[in-house]
Structure formats: structure tokens, C-alpha cells
């Protein structure tokens, strides 16, 4: 081993001994640091502060951006939830209203078991003819015919004016263009000798007063005692509209212009401002112009043979046309 080699080894060993001594000395619990330790500690703290503050600022900036994006996404999700909640609330309210209307229709169906009822929905109502006509989603293919009465759960609203294959136009009782009158009865109860006497007083519903929103019933016999809140129903004498369909309630009665009959003003039973689901009343028969009863399902067969000796198929006869406009129904 050369001298320089042994010298380096001695230096390494001396350095190692010093390092161990310093580590042992500094690892002890001391009250005060040595000046080299204080120097290096202060130097590193200054350098660390120079790099730490910018790094912390950059990190905080990106953290704030991330928080802002998270808040934006959360706000967006909450807004979507609120929009969906509003939509579901509207749908729930609509379903509740529809359920209530259908319950009333079913209740009305139970009270009109003697007639065939066809449920229909109002699919069109023009604002220009709001009080005149509505369009329903049933037509000839569903058995709907002209002049059939149309009602709601509360009462009669009109009659079928015209029919297409899959839709029909209903003329309302509130139409100012209505010419077909409706034969009606006022259900009167009078006390005679302490006992109630039930009587139906006949008349004809002819017009509608748009100012007072009341139906006008004329041709009521003079001398008949009529009071407010008495119910008015269809009489069925016109041959088209069935009997016992609610029309409205008496508001007041006045003598006519000539003092021969009375005129009654009627509050309609049905709510004409809210027409969504209706029922078309199918009568078992109609009455022709000469007073003959004609069943709705009456059919005739043509006996004349067709080409090839085959008989032609039976053709359905149309229901009799009611009396000309102005007649009662």
C-alpha cells in the first residue's frame, strides 16, 4: 500500500469519526443550537420561503378554479333538478285534475245507465268561436251521429253539429248562432194541503245571454209558480235529446213581452270554460218528422240481386233528420 493510499484512508476514517461525533453531539437534547446549525437553518428557511410562497399561490389559484368549477357543476345540477321538479309538479297537478274529471264522468255514467255513453276528448276549441263550437276526437267510425247530445259530468253542453270519420263538431248551448231549440222541463215542487206535489213545467231553451252568461227558456205556461234554484232538465219530447239530462238551475223568471207566457233565465250546470273530457249520449231511438219512432240500429236489406246472381249486402239506414231549424230537440 502506498503512502498516498494510506493517507486517503486515514482522512476518510478521521472524517467518519468526526461525522459520528457531530451526529452524536447534535442528536442530544440541547437548550441552544450551535452557530453552524443556526446558519444552515436560517439559510434554508429563507430559500424555502422564496419558493414556497409562489408555489402556494399557484396551487391556491388552481384549487380555487377547481372549487369554482365544482360549484358551477353543482349549481347546474340543482337548476336541472328544479326544472324537473317544476315539470313533475305540473304533470302531477294535471294528472290529479284529470283523475278528478274522470271520477266525475264515471259518477255521471252511473246516473245515466239508461243511455249509451261514448267518452271523448276535446281536441280543438278556436278562440274566435270559443262559445260556439268544440271539436271532439270521435266520429262516424266510432258511431257518432248528427244531433247526438253531448254532456259533461255536470250537465248538458250541446249537440253534435257535424260528423267526420274520426272527429265531430259539437255546437254548444252558449252559441249565439244556435237555431235548434231544446225542449226542457222545470222540476217544480209545490206544497198542497201540507203535502209536496212534484210537477214538471215544460218550456223551450232558445237562446243564450252572453252578458249575463245565462240560458233563456221561453214558452213557459202562464200561472205556473216557478222559483229560483229549481232544476231544469231535458224533456226528451223533441225526439233527439234524451230525457233527464241536466241543463241548469233557475235564476229568475219574467213575463214575456205579450204577457201570455213566462221567460226563465237559467244558470248552466256545466262549466263551459273548462271542457276537456265529454260524453256523447247515444239514444236508443229517434223520432222522425212525422212522429215515427226509428231505432238507431235499424237496417234494411236490398233484395235485388247483384251481378252474377249475388245479393247486394245490406245497407244501413241513416237516423231520421230532426225537424227543421227552430224546432225543439
Q: Please tell me the predicted confidence (pLDDT) of residue 314.
A: 40
Integer CA distances (angstroms), 301 to 5, 70, 304, in order: 137, 80, 9
Higher pLDDT, 323 or 82: 82
In angstroms, the CA 211 to CA 177 distance is 15
Angle, CA of 188, 193 and 195, to the nearest 5°: 55
DSSP letter at 168 equals E
Instruction: Give the burial string for 205-217 (b: 16+ CB within 10 Å, else e).
Output: bbbbeeeeebbbb
Q: Please tell me the predicted confidence (pLDDT) of residue 287.
A: 56
Q: Please tell me the predicted confidence (pLDDT) of residue 85.
A: 67
Query: Predicted confidence band at 127 (pLDDT cuts at 50, 70, 90)?
Result: confident
In angstroms, the CA 288 to CA 238 distance is 10
Q: How far is CA 167 from the centre of its chain?
A: 20
Integer CA distances (angstroms), 62 to 52, 56, 74, 146, 169, in order: 15, 10, 18, 76, 67
pLDDT tens-place string over residues 90-117: 667 767 777 776 766 666 655 555 577 8
In angstroms, the CA 269 to CA 272 distance is 9
DSSP letter at 238 equals T
pTM above 0.85, yes or no: no
* Residue 8 predicted with pLDDT over 70: yes
Helix (H) or strand (E) holding 28: none
- Can you point out the beta strands (E) in the chain? 116-124, 133-136, 149-151, 156-163, 168-172, 182-192, 195-209, 214-221, 231-234, 246-255, 261-268, 277-282, 285-287, 293-295, 299-300, 315-316
Q: How many other CB atoms are found less than 10 A from the CB of residue 105?
A: 18
Q: Please tell me the predicted confidence (pLDDT) of residue 262.
A: 93
DSSP line for 252-320: EEEE-TTSSEEEEEEEESS-TT--SEEEEEE-SEEE-TTS-EEETT-EE---SB-GGGPBPPPEEPPPP
pLDDT tens-place string over residues 143-160: 899 989 999 988 899 999
Indicate the average pLDDT of the chain: 77
Residue reference for cell 237562446: 207
Amino acid at each position: 500500500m502506498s503512502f498516498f493510499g494510506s493517507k486517503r484512508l486515514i482522512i476518510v476514517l478521521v472524517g467518519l469519526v468526526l461525522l459520528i461525533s457531530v451526529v452524536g453531539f447534535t442528536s442530544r437534547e440541547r437548550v441552544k443550537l450551535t452557530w453552524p446549525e443556526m446558519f444552515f437553518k436560517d439559510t434554508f428557511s429563507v430559500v424555502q420561503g422564496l419558493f414556497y410562497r409562489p408555489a402556494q399561490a399557484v396551487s391556491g389559484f388552481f384549487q380555487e378554479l377547481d372549487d369554482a368549477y365544482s360549484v358551477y357543476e353543482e349549481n347546474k345540477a340543482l337548476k336541472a333538478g328544479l326544472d324537473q321538479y317544476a315539470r313533475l309538479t305540473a304533470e302531477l297537478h294535471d294528472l290529479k285534475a284529470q283523475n278528478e274529471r274522470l271520477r266525475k264522468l264515471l259518477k255521471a255514467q252511473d246516473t245515466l245507465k239508461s243511455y249509451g255513453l261514448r267518452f271523448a276528448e276535446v281536441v280543438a276549441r278556436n278562440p274566435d268561436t270559443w262559445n260556439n263550437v268544440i271539436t271532439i276526437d270521435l266520429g262516424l267510425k266510432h258511431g257518432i251521429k248528427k244531433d247526438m247530445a253531448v254532456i259533461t259530468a255536470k250537465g248538458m253542453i250541446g249537440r253534435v253539429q257535424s260528423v267526420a270519420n274520426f272527429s265531430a263538431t259539437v255546437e254548444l248551448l252558449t252559441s249565439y248562432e244556435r237555431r235548434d231549440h231544446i225542449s226542457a222541463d222545470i222540476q217544480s215542487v209545490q206544497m198542497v194541503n201540507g203535502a209536496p206535489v212534484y210537477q214538471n213545467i215544460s218550456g223551450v231553451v232558445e237562446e243564450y245571454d252572453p252578458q249575463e252568461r245565462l240560458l233563456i227558456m221561453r214558452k213557459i205556461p202562464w200561472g205556473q209558480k216557478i222559483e229560483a234554484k229549481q232544476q231544469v232538465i231535458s224533456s226528451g219530447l223533441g225526439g233527439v235529446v234524451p230525457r233527464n239530462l241536466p241543463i241548469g238551475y233557475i235564476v229568475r223568471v219574467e213575463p214575456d213581452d205579450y204577457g201570455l207566457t213566462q221567460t226563465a233565465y237559467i244558470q248552466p250546470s256545466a262549466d263551459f270554460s273548462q271542457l276537456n273530457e265529454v260524453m256523447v249520449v247515444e239514444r236508443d231511438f229517434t223520432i222522425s218528422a212525422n212522429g215515427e219512432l226509428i231505432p238507431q240500429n235499424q237496417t234494411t236489406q236490398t233484395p235485388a240481386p247483384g251481378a252474377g246472381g249475388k245479393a247486394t249486402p245490406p245497407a244501413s239506414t241513416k237516423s231520421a233528420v230532426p225537424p227543421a231549424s227552430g224546432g225543439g230537440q
